[in-house]
Amino acid sequence: MITNKGNETLNWEKIGKFLVTLIGCLASITAIYVAFKNDTKLEAYLTYDYQTYPRQFSDRIDKADDKLKYGDLYDGIKSIANGTLTHEQIDKVVNLSQAPYHYMFDGPFKKGLDNYQVRLYVYLKNTGDKVVKDVHIKLPAKGLVHIRDDSRNDTVMDEPTSSVEIPSIVQNGVYRLWVYFEGDFEELKREGVHIGYSDGVAHIQVHEGFVGLDAKVARYSHELMAVLALFAIFLLLAVYLLFSSDENTDANPGTS
């Protein structure tokens, strides 16, 4: 049997050229990324959860609502006054007694606290080398917003809003936002959150809870992607060798 050493040498040369070309492409992609990447970088981490208030608290609110009804207060004050107060005076006392309660449950809390059960937590961090300017956040719906800046100063918006603006975030600065929504949990998650700034868009990661196999896949996602990338490279190499072998066989049909 005659062995064609020249073809074997040629195959190994092709494999070497293929690997050199592949490494060169990866290096070029890396160089382009490093050259054009922005020094300003805004990272955003989002967490949705569904919260409920203790049933005992909700029951107390309902009982307080019953006790603060106009008729009950009027009769109680009239009984204590024992005829010393006129109707107009009793009416004013009732209004003064109800005022704090009305203030607490005025808009947007007319339907009660349990109406805002979907909460979104947003963690913003400037991981770049420059100050991030004109940060704008578009929420999936109108919600009650609480902002804490990198100096731990709190800003609370009294009315529901669907957009939030932050003038700037310094290097390594961190902003935290808590947003309380009135609506369906899954629908709000599907709508998504858009976060941009003067130089681009924030890199957003949404944190979710997983169990079982899904939890393991989520936990080792980086390792899994590395294995898949390595597998793809070996697959391409195998396909290349297969076609090279077929070409050599066709080119030397009489070799044995």
- The yes-or-no verdict on residue 2 having pLDDT over 50 is no
Top-confidence residue, 243 or 47: 47
In sequence order, the 6+-apart residues with CB closer than 8 A to the CB of 164 are 136, 137, 139, 145, 147, 177
Q: What is the pLDDT of residue 1?
A: 45
Residues shown for the chain: 256
Check residue 125 and report its DSSP letter.
Answer: E
Q: What is the pLDDT of residue 239?
A: 67
- The yes-or-no verdict on residue 3 having pLDDT over 70 is no
Rg of the chain on CA atoms, in Å: 33
Q: What is the pLDDT of residue 117?
A: 87
Top-confidence residue, 184 or 245: 184
Mean pLDDT of the chain: 80
- The yes-or-no verdict on residue 102 having pLDDT over 90 is no
Alpha-carbon distance of 51 to 118, in angstroms, equals 6
Alpha-carbon distance of 227 to 246, in angstroms, equals 29
Alpha-carbon distance of 106 to 117, in angstroms, equals 18
- The yes-or-no verdict on residue 83 having pLDDT over 80 is yes
Encode pLDDT of 212-224 as tens digits.
555 566 566 777 7
Q: What is the pLDDT of residue 31?
A: 54
Encode pLDDT of 188-242 as tens digits.
988 889 999 998 999 999 886 555 555 566 566 777 777 777 777 777 777 666 6
Pick from 135, 160, 136, 156: which is nearest to 146 by CA?
A: 156
Give percent above pLDDT 90 in the chain: 40
pLDDT-derived band at 126 (thresholds 50, 70, 90) equals: very high
Alpha-carbon distance of 38 to 200, in angstroms, equals 9
Where is average pLDDT lowest: 118-132, 136-150, 209-223, 232-246?
209-223
What is the arithmetic mean of pLDDT over 83-102? Answer: 92
pTM of the model: 0.62
Evaluate the CA torsion angle 140, 164, 109, 206 in order and state its sign: positive
